[in-house]
Amino acid sequence: MTTESTLHSEVQTSSPVSLSSLHLGILWFGAAVSLAEIITGSLYDSMSTGSAVLAILAGHLIGAVAFYAVGWISWKEDKDAIAIADSSLGKAGVRIFALINALQLVGWTAVMILAGSDGLKAAAAAMGLYINLPWARLITGLLLLVWTAAGFRGMRNLNIAAVTLLFFLSVLWAVKLFLLPGTAEQEANAAPAFGGMLELAVIMPLSWLPLVGDYTRNARHGRSGVSAAALGYFIGSCAMYLLGLLSIRKIPDAGPVASMLLTGLGPAAALVVLLSTVTTGFLDVHSAGVSLRLVFPRLGQRTTPLLLGLLGLVLALAAPGGWYEHFLYALGSVFAPFFGVIFCRRLFFSPTTPSITDIVIGFGAWAVGLAGYYVLLPLGFPLGVSVPALIISMISYYLLQKGANLWIQKH
């Protein structure tokens, strides 16, 4: 995202040019300038400030390690992140990974519609107009669909402008928040488990794993280029999370747009948020269409993004309270064990074309890791759940492969 979603799309259309480390660092920092990440940062309001900051930084550090690993493999193999699944899970793995990426982008489209509707409602209220939330969501979603149907050219440049505006708006907003008098931290009746909140920070870098290699494969210098990308995203994403935390600390119970208005930024700030969410949502549905057509090549190039945008709108209209956290956990449950299989095969086994047995074992280990994620999630592990789920899938893959090799040798 240049919000969480923008890069999800930009990487699909970038040309294969050599990218400097500085370029990669700036590009991935920009990817983290995200309203979705600001919203996620506000979820830490029930923790003490010290614990929240530690969870955000530690979680992003864990996620950045996986981010770096996938980026490095893409550079070494000169493949995009989705294609590296081929060496572990075959063509079926690539298609399923592409399908999962399309579905997560539909989810991010819904997130953008929800965020944009808040901006529209707030901007209207500041001008003396009233729009209830369901209508605001419907209008924002329809605006996205009209934009998608029109297929406006130059959308990348418009999105870069929107992200730049959002960045400077965030800086100004942060300054205004700092100048507000401090508020006493409210005692939570039941403080959330540290591991669960750390997991919310791990997940955001993981959500980029299907796309990080699209750029790092073109790094001019592998180690420094991939490191710059991981560091740029780490700094930018942590900053956005901490901004969300600062906002909810200074102005409790106010969403990002309401907080901006209460600090005196005016209706223009709400319109910047609306522009940013619509442009990134536009790119999201097109990127989702590209991924979905990898699975179903006969789908129409123009109609597929529209259908996916409509699905995102339906999700935004029907989304129950608290669904965003469940959506984030769902991403972690899928991506962590998936890449555990890829990492294990690359570390301990030959990177040759996988056999049918290898592919079946890979999917089996992935399923074990996914199940392990949801078994461990309520337990509040100090290191979150993605790391244990990744390790479970790696151990499962290793043991299943060794067992299969022994069986083959005896028969």
Report the pLDDT value the prediction gives residue 185, as an integer from 0 to 100. Answer: 60
Using CA atoms, how far apart are residues 263 and 379, in angstroms rounded to an integer? Answer: 39
| Residue in 305, 58, 26, 299 with CA at minimum distance from that of residue 197 | 58
CB atoms within 10 A of CB 48: 13
What is the identity of the amino acid at 71?
Answer: G
Quote the distance between the C-alpha of residue 45 and its chain's center: 21
- 97: which residues sit within 8 A by CB, 6+ positions away? 82, 85, 89, 210, 338
Question: What is the predicted pLDDT for the residue at 269?
Answer: 85
pLDDT at position 13 is: 41
10, 389, 92, 309 alpha-carbon torsion, rounded to 10°: -40
Whole-number Å distance between alpha carbons of 388 and 394? 10
**Mean pLDDT for each consecutive 10-residue tract of the chain (411 residues)?**
43 60 91 89 92 96 96 90 87 92 92 86 82 91 86 68 88 93 60 85 93 89 94 96 95 87 86 81 84 90 91 91 87 94 91 89 97 91 91 97 88 72
Q: In the structure encoding, which two tokens stand for residue 26, read together?
A: 């700036």
Nearest-angstrom CA–CA distance, 227 and 207: 18
Nearest to 80 by CA among 89, 91, 88, 71: 71
- Count the Cβ atoms, other than its own, within 10 Å of residue 104: 22
Contacts of 299 (CB under 8 A, 6+ apart): 289, 292, 293
Question: Helices 356-376 & 323-348, crossing angle to 10 degrees?
Answer: 140
Torsion angle, alpha carbons of 221, 223, 224, 226, to 10: 100
Q: In sequence order, which residues have a C-beta less than 8 Å from that of residue 218 and are 6 or more positions away?
A: 16, 17, 18, 19
Q: Are the C-beta atoms of 264 and 177 separated by less than 8 Å? A: no
Of 17, 10, 41, the closest CA to residue 324 belongs to 41
3-state secondary structure of 219: strand
- Token pair recorded at residue 168: 């400077």
Round to whole Å and give the CA distance between 305 and 288: 7
Mapped onto helix, strand or coil, the DSSP state of residue 266 is coil
**Dihedrals φ, ψ of 254, to 5°?**
-110, 130
Whether residue 136 contacts residue 258, with contact meaning beta carbons closer than 8 Å, is answered with: no
Does this model's pTM top 0.85? My answer is: yes
- CA 101, 290, 141 angle in degrees (round to 5)? 80
Tens of pLDDT, residues 335-389:
999 999 999 999 998 777 899 999 999 999 999 999 999 999 988 788 889 999 9
